[in-house]
Structure 1
Amino acid sequence: MNTPPPPIRIGALAPLSKPGWVEAGRHLLAGLELAAGEVGLIDGRPLELLVRDTAADPAQAAAAVDELAGLGVAAFVGEYHSVVARSAAARADALALPFLCSSAVLDALTEQPTDWVARIAPAQSRGWRVYADFLLKAGHTRIAVATQPTVYWASGTRILREHLAARGGTLIELDMSTLDAAAVCDALADHRATALLLLVGIPDPAVPIVQAVRADPRLADVLIGAPAGQPEFAEWQSLLGSDGTAIPFLRYLPERLTPLGTRVEAALRERLGAAPSFVAFEGYDTIAVLAEALRFHGTGRSAGPSLSAGTGPDTGPGPNPGIAEAWPHISVEGTRGRIQFSRVPGISVWQWAWPPIQVADRDPAAPDRFRVLFSG
């Protein structure tokens, strides 16, 4: 009797417990798992996802990469939180293992340029500049940010400040390590800010800030925004109700999904029991891209001079150039458009340039419905 060939093992990273954003992790995993079940056999072998919970902990993510490397995975996929993805990317790069990052947007995903890491999500500098353009077009030039001291929020603050300043805007930074929600309201009134952006975690301190601003008559005309995308998820609506509507956020969806995307949307809705977020589509697209790399470039990993950082792979002869050498040659029709990778100035990894970007919010008249306010 013939022994079936072993599966191709893929390490999948996602925040599936607190303090990670569990709902985002659940959507990401739903997309990864749906695609893994649909890609079929690759060289006669099925894909097997070895899922590890990162819990928004960079050290836990690095340990998971080490463990999964020992189990013989061909590549890593996933992760939502940028600081966690950065830790995973550093370990994958050090181990010379491919990592296709699904959702994390921090520009500096690795300290140095690398050929081992590629990314589906847009870089933060791309998306957050689109968000700044939305604010300016809406007439907002005095903008406050309530922020917490993390690399991700600090990076977002810098991007917004530089983009706004070059166009006549002003950014006022409110440090939530020293302020409470009431103090935020006073600062908004004192600075005559017309918009407040939440660069903070949920539920705390985001929910108390929103509730306080909504209840303050001095701030009736202040726009609340959440560029990181919190209002897309059901948890946001369950925590805030009507207070959580009309809060613009970034999401990475096109005006119309591709035919594949339309089919995948229905399958994800059934799997999740709710409308899929853009994160679920990112998960699906990740596996679709990786499957293409596996089919046409093999499962092997070749390190050494052929993978000199930032110069592109050596495409010389050889039956198995390896997944990491496939990134610049891939062209896959995903759920949201054709996915191809390139080198982008200032970005240290192979980047899909660019996924579609929208600024959207929840409609106050129908909170389960989203309105697209701006595209970039």
Structure 2
Amino acid sequence: MSTSPSPSGAESAVRIGALVPLTRPGWTEAGQHLLAGLELAVGEVNDAGGVGGRPIELVVRDTAADPQRAAAAVEELAGLGVAALAGEYHSVVARAAATRADALGLPFLCSSAVLDALTEQPTDWVARISPPQSRGWRIYADFLLDAGHSRIAVAAQPSVYWATGTRILRDHLSAHNGTVIELDMSALTPAAVCDALVEHRATALLLLVGHPEPAVPIVKFVRRDQRLAEVLIGAPAGQPEFAEWAKLLGEDGAEVPFLRYLPERLTPLGARVETVLRERLAQAPSFVAFEGYDTVTVLAELLRSHDINRARTAESWPRVAVEGTRGQIRFSRTPGISVWQWTWAPIQVVDRDPAEPERLRIRYTG
């Protein structure tokens, strides 16, 4: 698809493959933010002398949220001789990429996908920057309980990701006398969702669906139904993070809490990176952009320290310690997680301020 520009002597460049959703049905705005972070870090690494005097070249492939397309891209990139893989936003797509990378012996640092089971069996070839879904969604459940919500409806589409999220929520809420009511969005219209919320006396509705369809119509219907004036709408997967949400929904898109993987205060590096990313994106950078930047920062340190060798890179996850935009990044083995994991990636529950929908406010910190 494309490669980032590299300095003269590009034939000696260290190539890193980047998997990014840049076309529909992929979440393209997330893909753009992820790529902006990846590219910024590559440029800064090269300005500082690259890896052992060799520039990094980012070889970008569009996954379009298609697992088969991602797996094929991993095959292609492995054949092109990339030193490692980076990126991906969609969890199901990242799982396909991780499975193929594991089979091929290609190091893959996953930037932004959270599905716990990225591979069926434990592997040394894959590591992850973003927190696992089990941790993030339990924190979201704690936020709901803390806010007084115990009868939760989930409007969900068929997907391993959504089904896993529903199970995490149900297990955590049921342990605290909460109830999860599943609404099958392959069979219900937004109007029918409103009727079901009334019937089940739900106090919160979580959107486990795609954006903008059907998330946006559901929000509009619920906001306009007077019977549901007190119902909280939530979106743990982060749909309201991006500017398109505010553009399509305006005031209706405020007060929809979602998970964001940022600390209350960025590191000094993070503050500087935020300024540059804001200029490049012409909007506030999402947490996904910071994940992209941190991914390349970690890979560059690994490649500098442990030679440009796939096997040595894969062996080195537990030995890396890198100051990223959101804290020091170290990888360890986490029970129930099959890949090397940055265990303490920061997690917040935030929403858009109804008084100023362009502004995000922190509602809960995990």
TM-score range, shorter chain: over 0.9
- Where in structure 2 are there 5+ consecutive unaligned residues? 1-7
Whether the 8 Å CA contact 1:297–1:326 is kept in 2: the answer is yes
- Residue 14, structure 1, aligned to residue 20, structure 2: yes
SS class of match (1:27): helix
Q: Please state if 1:61 is matched with 2:70.
A: yes
Deviations 1:264-300 (A, max 9, x none): 0001001111100000000000000001100101111
CA contact (8 A) 2:84 2:310 kept: no
Matched, 1:276 2:285: yes
Q: Percent identity?
A: 75
Contact 2:321-2:330 at 8 Å conserved across structures: yes
In structure 2, the residue matched to 1:369 is: 359
Q: In the TM superposition, what are the counterparts of 1:1-376 in structure 2 within 5 Å?
A: 6-40=12-46, 41-302=50-311, 322-376=312-366
Deviation at 1:301, TM superposition (A): 2.3
Gaps of 5+ in 1: 303-321
Q: Which amino acid aligns with 1:19?
A: P
Q: 1:18 to 1:4 in 2, by over 3 A?
A: closer
Name the aligned partner's letter for residue 34 of structure 2: L
Aligned residue number for residue 313 of structure 1: none
- Write the deviation string for residues 98-143 of structure 1: whole angstroms up to 9, x where unpaired: 0000000000000110000000000000000000000000000000
Once residues 3 and 9 of structure 1 are traced to their aligned partners in structure 2, the CA distance between those partners, rounded to angstroms, is 13
Cα distance, 1:27–1:43 mapped onto 2, change above 3 Å: same
Contact 1:342 1:350 (C-alpha < 8 Å) held by counterparts = yes
Is this contact kept in 1: 2:33–2:289, CA < 8 A?
yes
RMSD (CA atoms): 1.0
Letter matched to residue 254 of structure 2 = T
**How many angstroms apart in 2 are the aligned matches of 1:42 and 1:176?**
48
Q: Secondary structure at the match of 1:172?
A: strand
Q: Distance in 1 between matches of 2:58 and 2:68?
A: 21
Kindly provide the amino acid, as one letter, of the partner of residue 55 in structure 1.
Answer: A
- What secondary structure, in the 3-state scheme, does the structure 1 residue paired with 2:303 have? helix
TM-score (norm 1): 0.94
Distance 1:207 1:238 in 2: 11
Distance 1:348 1:175 in 2: 30
| C-alpha distance in 2 between matches for 1:261 and 1:249 | 21
Task: Work out the CA distance in 1 between the residues paired with 2:264 and 2:360.
Answer: 12
Secondary structure of residue in 2 paired with 1:51: strand
How many residue pairs end up in the alignment? 356
Amino acid at match of 2:53: G
